[in-house]
Chains A and B, each alone.
Chain A
Amino acid sequence: MSTPQSQPTPAHSQTQPPNQPAPAQGLPAPGSPAPQAAGSGPGITGPAPAGHGAAVPARPVPQRTPQGPPQGAAPWPGQAPLGGYVSPIPIRKATLADAVAAEWTKIRSIRSTVWTLGSMVLLIVGIGLLAAFVVSATDSTGATQTERVPVLILGIYGTMLSLICVITLGVLTMSSEYGTGLIRTTLTACPDRARVLTAKAIVFFLLTFVTTTVATTLVAVATEGIAGRLGAVPTAGQWLKATVGVSVFMSLVGVLALAVGAMLRHSAGAIAVMLAVVMMPLVLAMFLGVSDLTELRSWLLLYSIPNQLGVFYDVSAGEGPSGWDPLWIMTLVTGAALGGAYLSLAKRDA
């Protein structure tokens, strides 16, 4: 068959007009029916402006009944049935991988990412090393021979503090788009809310995980080297928990922050809420001194985020989560928050 324009690509999935039910309204017959499909992108060399400044410019207007009733006009031959214009640029379906690539470009192209991740690494490594040197110099962990634990635990001060950076970056990843109005551009480019959220969560999680793993591993190796003689020899499981375990946990807290940012759409508000989530259980527990509340009090303490982080270093305030439990708990919590974030994105106006 010979179409007026030969297209290099199958432009749109619905290519053939005749047996396709025409959409409700009649198709117009534009006065200028020659879309330059083979041309380059959008033409920038248009016709000269008609009557620059004239009050009532007389210009040729396509012949058309203004608000005409649906005319059963058939699409002109060889055209994509619905638009008038067919782009020469090849079209392919956008996927989640495209969304991930876009989010990666976004996150790496702003300075706040570098700053927050940079200070996170500094906190983890700096405080970890400092603790190791201090302990090594005073030649004591304060523990008796029998209850010796690996000195890996010295990393906890740094990771605990650096949670603030992870939370900040997590919240900003989402809420800064609302703050700037970029979210509208983002959702116009990718109207699938689930895909946008998933792509953001994946990119943020991976970036944070890799960075924290590098930092925690560095600290773990360094503390063992500096002060290892003072503690027990860590098992393989303890090594893994103090590095990868801690990093996954922290990244999950970050994704939780991202979800909260998506629900609240306000940077400062979301960061405040996340800090409260981290700190409040400890604060509340201090005030819940009354005896009949002891159960709630200890529950709050055991499941507070700092205490769960401690589990990875084999220090914990009692029974409650142990081993890898904090990961499963945090996965559930973060998953639920992401569900809420999705609903918020899908139901509310952007």
Chain B
Amino acid sequence: MIELEGLTKHYSDVRAVDHLTFTVRPGIVTGFLGPNGAGKSTTMRMMLDLDNPSSGTVRIDGRHYRELRDPLRVVGALLDAKAMHGGRSAYNHLLCLAQSNGIPKARVREVLDTVGLTSVARKRTKGFSLGMGQRLGIAAALLGDPRILMFDEPVNGLDPEGIHWIRNLMKSLATQGRTVFVSSHLMSEMALTADHLVVIGQGKLLADTSMTDFIKENSRSYVRMRSPEQERLREILRGAGIDVTPGEEGALEVEGEDAAHLGELAARHRITLHELSPRSASLEEAFMRLTAGSVEYHAHENHRPPESPAQSPAGPGAGWGADWRKKGS
């Protein structure tokens, strides 16, 4: 179990992590989400006592990380796939880590086998691909067979087979009763692995909720309608007492109504429909809505205005994110 309390980190003028308080529990996979620069890696570094918090504390099973006598037996972490000396072989990289914690040598072969790097164990890591480096990092995390595992963007650079494997690995680690904490940018990825979600933006806690609750609150379903007579359609729907929200590219979105019913309504008023499609908002959209106020690094596309989540404001689904947006900014 990892407990954070009021964890804060300033870098001169940047407040990278801002009063984070949450608990990562054993037996489940906890997803740690946030846009680029949200402070995920910084938080993880502070958990491992690599960076000193400006204020606040982190407790690992009730103790400070520096008090752990054989830390690799308690916490296994993958922070950065490149955190190794390129001139050293994969085997020796793991061997020195094992030795520093009094872990039996045989364990090195075991984890190399687990991550599938046995055939390149004697090769220097300089020549490793990103995914191979990532696998070696995962091997290092598993080395001490720890109760707590921390992965910073583990799927980074992995091939589909590797992604599939790490997903199952994380789930089975949690099933064994371990604490599994994994960061990601991808909501869809987390939806497949995580049982619990912690979302941060600009260093602040945006959500700390179970995956089921998040899905329940955010899987908004609606019907998308498009017509050459958009204005008339809107009037008619309003007239029928139906709430309409403007959707993407001038479409209309209607929540809580049956597509068949809407189609019949349009037919009755002789309105041509170009589109009538039932949809459900993806979790990715929900995540973007949630972190909308705290995304620091936007890409700028030249051809089309950014798909701002602000285009789907209000409505029952957005209320949740909107609430946080107020707090976030």
Whether a CB of chain B sits under 8 angstroms from the CB of A35 is: yes
Q: Does B175 contact A112, Cβ atoms closer than 8 Å?
A: no
User: Which of A55-63, A161-169, A242-250 faces chain B?
Assistant: A55-63
Q: Does B99 contact A182, Cβ atoms closer than 8 Å?
A: no
Instruction: Tell me the chain B residues, 293-322 only, with Cβ under 8 Å from chain A.
Output: none
Whether a CB of chain B sits under 8 angstroms from the CB of A237 is: no
A48 to chain B, nearest CB (A): 8
Tell me which of B27, B71, B170, B191 contacts A30 (CB under 8 A). B27
Q: Does B96 contact A105, Cβ atoms closer than 8 Å?
A: yes
| Complex: A190 Cα to B147 Cα, angstroms | 17
User: Which of B100-108, B233-241, B265-273 faces chain A?
Assistant: B100-108
Q: Does B71 contact A191, Cβ atoms closer than 8 Å?
A: yes
Q: Which residues of B contact A94 (CB under 8 A)?
A: 69-70, 100-102
Closest to A108 in B: B92
B32 to chain A, nearest CB (A): 15
Closest to B147 in A: A83
A92 to chain B, nearest CB (A): 5
Q: Does B82 contact A181, Cβ atoms closer than 8 Å?
A: yes
Q: Does B208 contact A182, Cβ atoms closer than 8 Å?
A: no
Interface centre among B48, B66, B96, B213 (most CB of A within 10 A): B96
Q: Work out how many contacts link A and B, with CB atoms closer than 8 A.
A: 261
Q: Does A180 contact B3, Cβ atoms closer than 8 Å?
A: no
Closest to A107 in B: B96
Q: Which residues of B contact A32 (CB under 8 A)?
A: 27, 174-175, 177
Instruction: Tell me the chain B residues, 126-152 only, with Cβ under 8 Å from chain A.
Output: 140, 142, 144-148
Whether a CB of chain A sits under 8 angstroms from the CB of B172 is: yes
Contact string, B189-222, partner A, CB cutoff 8 A, digits 1/0? Answer: 0011001100000000000111111010001000
B220 to chain A, nearest CB (A): 11
> What band does the interface of chain A fall in when counting residues whose beta carbon is under 8 Å from B?
35 or more
| Complex: A48 Cα to B193 Cα, angstroms | 11
Q: Which residues of B contact A92 (CB under 8 A)?
A: 70, 102
Q: Which residues of A contact B27 (CB under 8 A)?
A: 28, 30-33, 62, 84
Q: Does B50 contact A188, Cβ atoms closer than 8 Å?
A: yes
Q: Does B62 contact A23, Cβ atoms closer than 8 Å?
A: yes
Tell me which of B92, B145, B212 contacts A89 (CB under 8 A). B145
Instruction: Tell me the chain A residues, 88-147 only, with Cβ under 8 Å from chain B.
Output: 88-95, 98-99, 101-103, 105-106, 109-112
Tell me which of B74, B83, B179 contacts A185 (CB under 8 A). B83
Interface centre among A93, A112, A182 (most CB of B within 10 A): A182
Q: Which residues of A contact B104 (CB under 8 A)?
A: 89-90
Interface of A is mostly: loop
Whether a CB of chain B sits under 8 angstroms from the CB of A289 is: no
> What band does the interface of chain B fall in when counting residues whose beta carbon is under 8 Å from A?
35 or more
Q: Which residues of B contact A109 (CB under 8 A)?
A: 88-89, 92, 96
- Contact A191-B61, Cβ < 8 Å, known A83-B177, A105-B99: no
Q: Which residues of A contact B123 (CB under 8 A)?
A: none
A203 to chain B, nearest CB (A): 11
A22 to chain B, nearest CB (A): 9
Q: Does B82 contact A180, Cβ atoms closer than 8 Å?
A: yes
- Contact A47-B172, Cβ < 8 Å, known A188-B50, A347-B52: yes
| Complex: A47 Cα to B27 Cα, angstroms | 15
Q: Which residues of A contact B3 (CB under 8 A)?
A: 23-25
Contact string, A296-334, partner B, CB cutoff 8 A, digits 1/0? Answer: 000000000000000000000000000000000000000
Closest to A177 in B: B85
A5 to chain B, nearest CB (A): 11
Whether a CB of chain A sits under 8 angstroms from the CB of B55 is: no
Q: Does A106 contact B176, Cβ atoms closer than 8 Å?
A: no
B226 to chain A, nearest CB (A): 22
Contact string, B234-253, partner A, CB cutoff 8 A, digits 1/0? Answer: 00000000000000000000
Q: Which residues of B contact A8 (CB under 8 A)?
A: none
Tell me which of B68, B82, B145, B219 contacts A87 (CB under 8 A). B145
A103 to chain B, nearest CB (A): 7
Task: Known A-B contacts: A44-B114, A98-B100. Give 5 more (CB < 8 A).
Answer: A33-B177, A43-B173, A110-B87, A180-B83, A189-B100
23 contacts between A and B (CB under 8 A): A23-B3, A25-B3, A34-B177, A41-B107, A44-B169, A46-B168, A46-B172, A50-B192, A55-B219, A66-B196, A67-B208, A82-B62, A83-B147, A86-B147, A90-B104, A99-B100, A109-B89, A112-B87, A176-B85, A180-B82, A181-B82, A182-B85, A184-B83
